[in-house]
């Protein structure tokens, strides 16, 4: 169920026990059907588990939407080297707040998903890289992991199967870029969290240079249900290309912000107006960021027919990302918010690539200049050219993430910029 509010349109699979403290305990989790998926997986061959996940069509929930089963199948089969499963719990994309709920309400769901994943790819060691700031949620997960060890669900002999699966919870130390998969690997190895050049891809050379699969918390949390109930069951929801359910994190100017689990393909307008109770104070909608701060902004017109699936949001002109819907009403100063996002990226740029290190700061300075009423029409041209040069020219996509809101806001909210250029203020 949604947290802190629920809605009748929801399909609660991974969020079913949000707000239910008893579900955090091992006994409580087992009573709710917990660890049936893992026990079933252990009866199947690893290949069979991968095929099942492939058939379910589950796509990575961290933002890129890469098919999970396919990712697992890239792991070398006959290699004698140790394999790793990494869980990315370094949730830090502005607008996203789903993983913390999954960690603190359903820690055993994640542990189970991790164990199934490790079994499928032949890994004996799992690391869950948790965001350091999530102190409270991390302690809930840590306690659940200890309980799982004690019950023989993790360790030398998982459920008496003879399989060894170790799990370590590792806390990060505050760096957005460590949410990027190779940045996370470097960070876990005790280095600066600078993303690596790909190839080699993690399946060939990942953590400690060994074959590694990395999945998001939400992706792994869905695995136990898919394994227990089958791929056809999971495909009952969502679309052909985006099967299943997804947590939508809605924030900003709505009456009932929060996490809602909905089938993929759900209409964005209905999410805002029905599920979230509409825009605050009866104001008109101005803009929506559908997938976290790194994706293009949608204008109110584009929201009209937008369906929240990977392909649907793309058709509307943006990306589903991690389904973090940030709603802005008519009182919003779009340029100020874009500046706030770009200053975030300037702060979080790791500094390896020149277009990003210099570009993020430069973009922020130009936006500040515009907001101070000192901008010119030429600045808009500079912003467009600059962000063009920041797209596709760097090791990771942090740089592209600045370009997306800047370019889309200039495209759809040019008037807001022009008012600033003429010396007037936007929206009082």
Partner 1 sequence: MKAPKFNPGWAGNIGEYELTEAEIRGEDFVGERPLEGGHPSASATYPYMLETKDPKAKLFEGAYLERFEKIVTRYPEMRAALLPTLSLAQEVRGYVSPQTMDEVAELLELSSAYVRGVATFYTMYNKSPVGKYLIQVCTNISCNLCGAEDVLRTFLEETGTELGEISGDGCFSVVEAECLAGCGFPTCVQINSKYFENVIAEDVPEILATLRNEQSTDPRKKSLKE
Among residue numbers 100 through 129, which ones bind partner 1 (CB under 8 A)? Answer: 100, 104
Q: Is 341 in the site for partner 1 (CB under 8 A)?
A: yes
Looking at the Cβ atoms of 170 and 369, the one nearer to partner 1 is 170
Residues 4-23 that bind partner 1 (CB under 8 A): 4-6, 19, 21
Q: Total residues contacting partner 1 (rule CB under 8 A)?
A: 81
Q: Is 140 in the site for partner 1 (CB under 8 A)?
A: yes
Out of 48, 156, 173, 392, the only residue in the binding site for partner 1 (CB under 8 A) is 173
Query: 334-348 vs 414-421: helix axis angle to the nearest 10?
Result: 90
Out of 56, 73, 92, 239, the only residue in the binding site for partner 1 (CB under 8 A) is 92
Site string for partner 1, 23-52 (x = CB under 8 A): -xx---------------------------
Query: 414-421 vs 398-412: helix axis angle to the nearest 10?
Result: 80
From the list 77, 100, 105, the residue with the least C-alpha distance to 89 is 100
The gap between the terminal CA atoms of the chain, to the nearest Å, is 39
Sign of CA pseudo-dihedral 255, 91, 293, 219: negative
Contact 145, 154 (CB under 8 A): yes
Looking at the Cβ atoms of 96 and 408, the one nearer to partner 1 is 96
* CB of 1 vs partner 1, minimal distance in Å: 9
Contact 115, 87 (CB under 8 A): no
Cα(87)–Cα(75) distance, integer angstroms: 16
Q: Is 313 exposed, middle or buried (0-12, 13-18, 19+ CB in 10 A)?
A: buried
Q: Is 130 in the site for partner 1 (CB under 8 A)?
A: yes
Distances from the Cα of 42 to the Cα of 163, 218, 219, angstroms: 9, 22, 19
Site string for partner 1, 198-217 (x = CB under 8 A): ----------x---------
Looking at the Cβ atoms of 194 and 379, the one nearer to partner 1 is 194
* CB of 287 vs partner 1, minimal distance in Å: 11
Region of 41-49, 58-66, 68-76, 169-177 interacting with partner 1 (CB under 8 A): 169-177
* Beta bridge pairs of residue 125: 84, 166
* CB of 137 vs partner 1, minimal distance in Å: 7
Cα(134)–Cα(156) distance, integer angstroms: 29
* CB of 115 vs partner 1, minimal distance in Å: 13
For 37-99, the three-class secondary structure string (H helix, E strand, C coil) is HHHHHHHCCHHHHHHHHHHHCCECCCCCCCEHHHHHHCCCCCCCCCCEEEEEECCCCCCCCCH
Out of 136, 305, 377, 388, the only residue in the binding site for partner 1 (CB under 8 A) is 136
Cα(395)–Cα(410) distance, integer angstroms: 26
Q: Is 167 in the site for partner 1 (CB under 8 A)?
A: yes
Looking at the Cβ atoms of 93 and 112, the one nearer to partner 1 is 93
Contact 116, 223 (CB under 8 A): yes
Out of 205, 280, 361, 421, the only residue in the binding site for partner 1 (CB under 8 A) is 280
Region of 97-105, 221-229, 380-388, 391-399 interacting with partner 1 (CB under 8 A): 97-105
Q: Is 61 in the site for partner 1 (CB under 8 A)?
A: no
Region of 86-94, 214-222, 352-360, 418-426 interacting with partner 1 (CB under 8 A): 86-94
Query: 135-150 vs 107-121: helix axis angle to the nearest 10?
Result: 60
Cα(312)–Cα(316) distance, integer angstroms: 6
Looking at the Cβ atoms of 129 and 310, the one nearer to partner 1 is 129
Site string for partner 1, 368-407 (x = CB under 8 A): ----------------------------------------
Token code pair at residue 373: 């009423």
Q: Please name the residue that has the structure tokens 């940030």.
A: 326
Q: Is 295 in the site for partner 1 (CB under 8 A)?
A: no
Q: Is 63 in the site for partner 1 (CB under 8 A)?
A: no
Out of 33, 45, 152, 174, the only residue in the binding site for partner 1 (CB under 8 A) is 174
Out of 31, 47, 152, 168, the only residue in the binding site for partner 1 (CB under 8 A) is 168
Cα(31)–Cα(8) distance, integer angstroms: 25
Q: Is 146 in the site for partner 1 (CB under 8 A)?
A: yes
Looking at the Cβ atoms of 226 and 279, the one nearer to partner 1 is 279
Q: Is 420 in the site for partner 1 (CB under 8 A)?
A: no
Collapsing DSSP to helix, strand or coil, 286 comes out as strand
Region of 114-122, 174-182, 235-243, 363-371 interacting with partner 1 (CB under 8 A): 174-182
- Which DSSP helix (H) or strand (E) runs through 236? none
Contact 387, 407 (CB under 8 A): yes
């Amino acid at each position: 169920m949604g947290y802190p509010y629920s809605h009748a349109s929801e399909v609660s699979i991974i969020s079913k026990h949000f707000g239910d403290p008893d579900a955090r305990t091992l006994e409580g989790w087992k009573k709710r059907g917990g660890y049936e998926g893992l026990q079933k997986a252990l009866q199947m061959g690893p290949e069979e588990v991968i095929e099942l996940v492939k058939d379910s069509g589950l796509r990575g929930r961290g933002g890129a939407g890469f098919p999970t089963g396919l990712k697992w199948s890239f792991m070398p089969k006959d290699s004698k080297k140790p394999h790793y499963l990494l869980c990315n719990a370094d949730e830090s994309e502005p607008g996203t707040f789903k993983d913390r709920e999954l960690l603190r309400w359903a820690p055993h769901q994640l542990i189970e998903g991790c164990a199934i994943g490790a079994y499928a790819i032949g890994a004996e060691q799992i690391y869950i890289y948790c965001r350091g700031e999530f102190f409270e949620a991390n302690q809930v997960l840590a306690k659940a992991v200890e309980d799982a060890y004690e019950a023989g669900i993790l360790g030398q002999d998982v459920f008496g199967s003879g399989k060894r699966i170790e799990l370590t919870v590792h806390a990060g130390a505050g760096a957005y870029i460590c949410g990027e998969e190779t940045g996370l690997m470097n960070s876990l190895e005790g280095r600066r969290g600078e993303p690596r050049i790909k190839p080699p891809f993690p399946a060939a050379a990942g953590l400690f240079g060994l074959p590694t699969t990395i999945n998001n918390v939400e992706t792994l949390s869905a695995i136990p249900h898919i394994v227990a109930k089958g791929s056809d069951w999971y495909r009952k929801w969502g679309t052909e290309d985006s099967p299943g359910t997804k947590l939508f994190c809605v924030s900003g100017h709505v009456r009932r912000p929060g996490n809602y689990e909905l089938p993929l393909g759900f209409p964005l307008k209905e999410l805002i107006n029905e599920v979230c109770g509409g825009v605050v104070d009866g104001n008109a909608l101005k803009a929506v960021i559908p997938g976290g701060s790194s994706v293009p902004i949608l204008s109110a017109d584009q929201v009209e027919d937008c369906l929240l699936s990977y392909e649907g949001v793309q058709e509307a002109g943006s990306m589903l990302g991690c389904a973090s819907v940030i709603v802005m009403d008519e009182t919003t100063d779009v340029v100020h918010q874009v500046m706030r996002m770009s200053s975030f990226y300037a702060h979080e740029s790791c500094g390896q690539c020149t277009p990003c290190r210099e570009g993020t700061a430069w973009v922020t300075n130009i936006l500040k200049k515009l907001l101070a009423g000192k901008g010119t029409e030429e600045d808009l041209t500079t912003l467009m050219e600059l962000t063009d040069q920041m797209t596709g020219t760097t090791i990771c996509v942090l740089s592209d993430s600045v370009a997306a809101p800047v370019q889309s806001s200039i495209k759809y909210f040019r008037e807001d910029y022009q008012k600033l250029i003429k010396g007037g203020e936007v929206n009082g």
